[in-house]
Amino acid sequence: MISKTKYQATNEEIRSLFESNGIGVVTGTEPLGDGEFNAAYKVSCEDGKDYALKIAPPDDASVLTYEKNMMDSEVFWYRQMKENTDILCPEIFAVDFTHRIIKSSCFIMEMMKGEPIWKCGFTPEEYAQVQSQKIGMLTKIHAVRNDKYGYRQTGLRDSWYEALRAMAGNLVNDCRNIGYETPDGERFIGLIDKHESALRQAPCRMVNFDLWDSNILYHDGHLIWIDPERGFWGDPVADFITVGKGQKTPLSDKKEELEIYNRTAAEKIELNRNTEIRYACAVAYLALIEEVEKYVRYEPDHPNYIRNTVDARDMYDMAFDIMR
pLDDT at 3 over 70: no
Q: Give Cα separations from 275 to 183, 203, 236, 238, 282 (angstroms).
A: 25, 11, 10, 10, 11
pLDDT for position 275: 98
Residue 92: inside a domain, yes or no? yes
In terms of residue numbers, what domain contains 183? 115-323
Q: Give Cα separations from 143 to 1, 9, 73, 163, 236 (angstroms).
A: 34, 38, 19, 20, 10
248 — pLDDT class (breaks 50, 70, 90): very high
Residue after which a domain boundary falls, among 55, 82, 110: 110
pLDDT at 78 over 60: yes
4 — pLDDT class (breaks 50, 70, 90): low
pLDDT at 60 over 90: no
Q: Are 31 and 92 found together in one domain?
A: yes
pLDDT at 156 over 50: yes
Q: Are 165 and 219 found together in one domain?
A: yes
Percent of the chain having pLDDT more than 90?
92
Domain of residue 16, CATH code: 3.30.200.20
pLDDT for position 164: 98
Residue 4: inside a domain, yes or no? no
Q: Using CA atoms, how far apart are residues 117 and 251, in angstroms rounded to an integer?
A: 23
The mean pLDDT of 294-302, rounded to a whole number, is 92
pLDDT at 286 over 50: yes
32 — pLDDT class (breaks 50, 70, 90): confident
Q: Using CA atoms, how far apart are residues 15 and 253, in angstroms rounded to an integer?
A: 50
Q: Which residue(s) pair with 222 in the sheet?
A: 219
Residue 198: inside a domain, yes or no? yes
Domain of residue 192, CATH code: 3.90.1200.10
Per-residue pLDDT tens for 157-212?
A: 999 999 999 999 999 999 999 999 999 999 999 999 999 999 999 999 999 999 99
pLDDT for position 1: 45
The mean pLDDT of 105-115, rounded to a whole number, is 96
Q: Are 273 and 153 found together in one domain?
A: yes
Instruction: Give 135 or 60, the one with higher predicted confidence.
Output: 135
Q: Are 236 and 159 found together in one domain?
A: yes
Structural domains of the chain, count: 2
Q: Are 318 and 239 found together in one domain?
A: yes
Q: Are 153 and 100 found together in one domain?
A: no
**To the nearest whole number, what is the mean pLDDT of the chain?**
95
pLDDT for position 284: 98
Q: Using CA atoms, how far apart are residues 104 and 77, in angstroms rounded to an integer?
A: 20
- Rounded to a whole number of angstroms, the CA Rg of the chain reads 20
Q: Using CA atoms, how far apart are residues 21 and 139, in angstroms rounded to an integer?
A: 36
Per-residue pLDDT tens for 222-247?
A: 999 999 999 999 999 999 999 999 99
34 — pLDDT class (breaks 50, 70, 90): low
297 — pLDDT class (breaks 50, 70, 90): confident
pTM: 0.94
Q: Are 23 and 53 found together in one domain?
A: yes
Instruction: Count CB atoms within 10 A of the CB of residue 30.
Output: 8
